[in-house]
Amino acid sequence: MPPQPNYDAARAKYPLIAQALEARYGRKTFKPHDGMDELVSCILSQSTTDANRDRGFTALKARYATWAEVHHAPPEELIDTIRPAGLANSKGPRIQGALAQIYAERGEYSIDFLRDLPPDEAKAWLMRLPGVGPKTAAIVLCFGYGVPAFPVDTHVHRVGMRIGFLPAKISADDAHPVMEAIVPPEDYYAFHLQMIYHGRDLCRARGPLCQACPIQQWCDFYLSGASAADK
């Protein structure tokens, strides 16, 4: 069983942290993305940079007009097309495998039905697809359909552990239900983005700028003195 946080303490300081991060980074409102685009883009994003993912996704959309064409493309051709995203030899088969499974089960290249499922059922369905784990499933549901799911990426994982929402040594995969238990569902989308902005702006992996941080008074990492040792 993964390590468990102090939920009472985390929930008590969540509103204070959320308010401070919103004051610094603003609050994004949900704008739905195409679910299939989000799914394939997420598979391309694995173990690479956002810029590389975008280059691979742009190349894929430029070459193929439909998901059927992607599904039935010669595997080596698809791999060559998405090579800018990195790890194309594994991502190509995952994409075609996911498309094959979606079409076999749904009779179309669409996952829009997920918006009408309970979140846990929607996540479970997505995670049966090749290349889809908890993070990808949560991103597709959150950004594609506004379904209450909290994605945990590298930034969210790091920031969550430092402020004390996530216990030390918890994996990113195990962190998803913890964040969902702390953050109110109506805030999942906005707070997820605020944590990413904070991880990029101040709470960096190396050399976090704790003296400029608006949430330092609630941050376990800062209060422990670890930030001074990290300079």
Q: What are the structural domain ranges in the chain?
A: 7-28+151-229, 35-145
Predicted local distance difference test score (pLDDT) of residue 194:
97
What integer pLDDT is reported at residue 228 of this predicted model?
A: 59
Average pLDDT over residues 204-227: 93
**Per-residue pLDDT averaged across 207-231, rounded?**
87
Residue 229: pLDDT band by 50, 70, 90 thresholds? low
- Least confident interval from 109-123, 147-161, 190-204, 215-229: 215-229
* Length of the chain counted residue by residue: 231
Report the percentage of the chain scoring pLDDT > 90: 91
Residue 98 has pLDDT above 70, yes or no: yes
Provide the CATH number for the domain formed by 7-28+151-229 in this structure: 1.10.1670.10
Token pair 């810029």 in the structure block, residue: 51
Report how far residue 24's alpha carbon sits from residue 146's, in angstroms, rounded to the nearest whole number: 23
**Do residues 59 and 224 make contact, with C-beta atoms less than 8 angstroms apart?**
no
pLDDT value of residue 119? 95
How many whole angstroms separate alpha carbon 126 and alpha carbon 77?
26
CATH class label, 35-145: mainly alpha
- Mean pLDDT of the 1-11 span: 85
pLDDT range class, residue 3, cuts 50, 70, 90: confident
* Arithmetic mean of pLDDT over the chain: 95
Cβ contact 99:108 at 8 Å: no
- Rounded CA-CA distance 112/97 in Å is 18
pLDDT value for 32: 85
Residue 204: per-residue pLDDT: 96
- pLDDT of the residue at 142: 96
Q: Where are the alpha helices (DSSP H) in 107-219?
A: 119-126, 134-139, 154-163, 172-182, 188-201
Contact status, residue 197 vs residue 23, Cβ threshold 8 Å: no
pLDDT digits (tens, 9 = 90+) for 20-61: 999 999 999 988 889 999 999 999 999 999 999 999 999 999
- pLDDT of 2 over the 80 cut: no
pLDDT of residue 68: 98
Average pLDDT over residues 61-74: 98
Copy the structure tokens of residue 130. Answer: 């090749």
pLDDT at 148 over 90: yes
pTM of the model: 0.90
Residues 188, 202: Cα–Cα separation, whole Å: 21
Distances (CA, A) of 32 to 47, 49, 228: 25, 23, 41
pLDDT at 9: 93
